[in-house]
A and B are shown apart, each in its own frame.
Chain A
């Protein structure tokens, strides 16, 4: 008996010794701590925010955004839209290579876009739904033909829908492409150990190689924020994303660390069920005055102070107050419990009003919910918190089994991406079941206009209605906090919160 157990243990140890194929590390090596484990690394199937952080080094896109959310060329050189808005011609950067040496030309763009559009289970299809056909004009020019004018199209091409993949590699790998992605970004894929790390190395033939100063990047998912920060402080990591607002002071006080920050393009909100099934028939869902009373009972500044040390940005619209599309006419409401109580009286409802308050399992969201619960109680609301797993919450939300629901949206550069699918009748993310013919018409109209002033005017009409009676109560906008060692230079955050690795320098 004893020898056998010993042999088992020995064999086990030997096996674990054989396991990790070692890779020698030389040159500058950036170790990047992620807050979650990314999903599949295939731009067609990817859907997580954290995955986009890794894509930023692997896959270049046709376009990118700049600090002010303007669209700037990346793999493209320029673009031109016909006056009717139905044809977009894109000039491509010549001589760009994919990681496997294949050339990134018009054929490859056509292939990639069609792959996004036609692959079974592609998450890019809805983003490119307006796209009818892709035509190759010459090796460096493609023409996109649209079914209907769709002004947010270019902004879609600044994200995963605009990521180009090597046709050769994609054809060979099929839906296993994500296990070894081949794109045209500054770094190429080396290896991935699920839940452990993703390693990429510098791509020598990158079109902008002069500005790449790192040799290798290792992404390590570490869910616990305290541990992530501890690893940064001890030098195990060089960069970490999503530092908690409550830990920011510690980073600022540490002379060996630096902090980069930007307000998110998304928002944190409470979805109110105004039209889905039985729960919508309660006072909160059926009477806008009750909804307004709830909003007046909430002190956004206090939430920000208590839960986020005052580091976040209180808000009341689908874009943050810093965004050009923010409607100044509708400022963030101040707390007014007396007025809230009066509104409830006018509405003739009996207090306390019980509300089924669904909160996805996440410590920060839960804490926010508990503070809101306490605030709303003072005005006469009994918010019954129901913490559910994220997986369950989606199903419950879809089926309308909630009266209020804490929902975070990671945001899109174009305002349409933050609003349309939430407010349009029967749209996929319209969990609250809001439906208004006028709002629907305005939302569609805004998509056909490309002049920002014109669009903003249309959105003002939407805001007037939706902020008062709609299914979303916007609460605040997070700030992305990326902390890094002072040895790392050139790091700036763009509004999407992603770190662009081109231009980063790590001094030993």
Chain B
């Protein structure tokens, strides 16, 4: 049922020489939604990187004569509570969101995958302890855990990433562990063990590749969740420090001016929505493309 076993059993000549990665990419390309998602993500990433060149204004330059001005030709998305350009802040804010999304997932994978491999591979007491701990963490409300961790570490973007990453770890532990259990009894793993390969080698060489496709899908979808989580933490004042913008903290401020400056709430929210949507589209695409049942 895993992606790796398929090419072996697929007799068709052109597909036989195709690597799984290439095959997945070919399938992914056919999915319009995923391609749109990917395109938007690329645009957002480029915007974040090249913000200093494409941004119409300095995102922290205050202009006290232009406080809370509605969108206009000069300020497409209007200005905020101290006269900063909202568009510029959204462009720069993409950095915080993307960093938070990607880094926290990297942290979650970095901890979750080894721990999950360990639990699934060793079994016994180690597995029992890790599994119960995972259950316990999953039973606690996600945002509450993240809030408590972020408050403990102190508010900053880095700490918000760590908090979200740690909170998202159990998902990856569970995923990896399940996959390990499924492949552990496969013949080729048994064979590798019989010839006396060390455990770590079996785990990394033979088991990990089987986890990868699912990991990729889960990671992409978790980036989407993490972006929302970062925005939520910033919304509660536990993320990016001022004056550096982040979409969540922009929304936090905007809430106070809902009646007098709704654009301050509309645009950062849209930015979050579009980015999260793109990651979800891409994640869906990956899922379908890597699904051995689909063609």
Contact = CB atoms under 8 A, between A and B. Distances in A.
Q: Do chains A and B touch in the complex (CB under 8 A)?
A: yes
A392 B151 contact: yes
A371 interface: yes
Contacts of A386: 155, 241
A contact face: mostly helix, strand, loop, or mixed:
helix
Contacts of A387: 155, 237, 241-242
Interface string A206-233: 0000000000000000001110011000
A313 B241 CA distance: 28
Contact of A388 (B155, B242, B256, B259): B155
Contacts of A226: 255-259
B154 interface: yes
Report whether over half of chain B's contact residues are helix, strand or loop; otherwise say mixed.
loop
Interface in B70-119: 81-83
A363 B256 contact: yes
A398 interface: no
Most buried by A among B60, B237, B252, B255: B237
B178 to A, nearest CB: 23
A371 B67 CA distance: 12
Contact of A389 (B62, B155, B255, B258): B155
Nearest to A299: B64
B14 interface: no
Nearest to A363: B256
Given A226-B258, A247-B259, A374 B62 contact: yes
A367 B253 contact: yes
Interface string A242-263: 0010110010000000000000
Q: Which of B82, B151, B238 has the most CB of A within 10 A?
A: B82
Contact of B259 (A250, A385, A389): A250
A286 interface: no
B193 to A, nearest CB: 41
Interface string A265-307: 0000000000000000000000000000000000000100111
A247 B261 CA distance: 11
Contacts of A122: none
Nearest to A364: B256
B243 interface: yes
Contacts of A364: 256
A408 interface: no
A366 interface: yes
A373 B243 contact: yes
Interface in B222-267: 237-238, 241-243, 252-253, 255-260
B259 to A, nearest CB: 5
Contacts of A78: none
Contacts of B83: 306
Interface of B: 60, 62, 64, 67-68, 81-83, 151, 154-155, 237-238, 241-243, 252-253, 255-260
Given A224-B255, A307-B81, 9 more contacts: A229-B259, A230-B259, A247-B259, A306-B64, A367-B81, A374-B82, A374-B243, A386-B241, A387-B241
